[in-house]
C-alpha cells in the first residue's frame, strides 16, 4: 500500500483540539481537506504528521506551538487612534479586520479593546502560542 510522501496530493479528515479539550476546527460533515504534502499549505506539524501514513490510517498528534502558529508576540499588539479606522467599520471586541502593512501585505487584526479615542488590535494568529492536537485520518492519496 502506498504511503504519503512529499509531493503527494492527499485528502484527510481531521479534528483539532486545544489543551483544554475544546475543538477549534474539524472537517466532520464536510469534504476532506485536500493538500499537497510538503507544499506548505498547512501548518508544518500537520504536514509532517501525514508523511508515511497509508490510506485508511488514523493517528493523533500534538503539534507544539512552534510548529503550528508560533508563539504569541506582544509586539504584534497595537494601540491605534480610532480616527485611523474608517467610521463605517463597526468595532467590537473579537471582530477581525483586514489591513495592509507598510510593505503592502494584507494582515488580519483582531479587536481586543475598543475605547472612545483608541482601539487595541492584535496581529497574532488566534491560535498562536497554543499546542494543537489533531486526530487525522488519511482518506486517500489522489
**Residue 87: what pLDDT?**
87
pTM for this structure?
0.81
Mean pLDDT of the chain, nearest integer:
94
Q: What stretch(es) of the chain map to CATH 3.10.50.40?
A: 9-70+127-141
φ/ψ region of 54 (left if φ > 0, alpha if ψ in -120 to 50, else beta) reads beta
Does position 1 have pLDDT exceeding 80, yes or no? no
**Residue 138: what pLDDT?**
98
pLDDT digits (tens, 9 = 90+) for 112-133: 999 999 999 999 999 999 999 9
CATH 3.30.1240.10 for domain 9-70+127-141, yes or no, is no
Q: Rounded distance, CA 134 to CA 69, Å?
A: 14
Cα angle 40-58-142, degrees, rounded to a multiple of 5:
55
pLDDT digits (tens, 9 = 90+) for 45-92: 999 999 999 999 999 999 999 989 999 999 999 999 999 898 899 899
Does position 39 have pLDDT exceeding 90, yes or no? yes
Q: What stretch(es) of the chain map to CATH 2.40.10.330?
A: 74-122
CATH 3.40.1080.10 for domain 74-122, yes or no, is no
Q: How confident is the model at residue 97 (pLDDT cuts 50, 70, 90)?
A: very high
Amino acid at each position: 500500500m502506498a504511503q504519503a510522501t512529499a509531493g503527494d496530493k492527499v485528502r484527510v479528515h481531521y479534528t483539532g483540539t486545544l489543551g483544554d479539550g475544546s475543538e477549534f476546527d474539524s472537517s466532520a460533515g464536510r469534504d476532506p481537506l485536500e493538500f499537497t504534502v510538503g507544499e506548505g499549505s498547512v501548518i508544518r506539524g500537520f504536514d509532517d504528521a501525514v508523511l508515511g501514513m497509508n490510506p485508511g490510517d488514523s493517528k493523533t498528534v500534538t503539534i507544539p506551538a512552534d510548529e503550528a502558529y508560533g508563539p504569541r508576540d506582544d509586539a504584534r499588539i497595537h494601540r491605534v487612534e480610532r480616527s485611523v479606522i474608517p467610521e463605517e467599520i463597526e468595532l467590537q471586541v473579537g471582530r477581525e479586520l483586514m489591513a495592509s502593512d507598510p510593505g503592502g501585505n494584507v494582515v488580519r487584526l483582531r479587536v481586543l479593546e475598543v475605547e472612545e479615542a483608541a482601539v487595541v488590535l492584535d496581529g497574532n494568529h488566534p491560535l498562536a502560542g497554543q499546542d494543537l492536537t489533531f486526530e487525522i485520518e488519511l482518506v486517500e492519496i489522489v
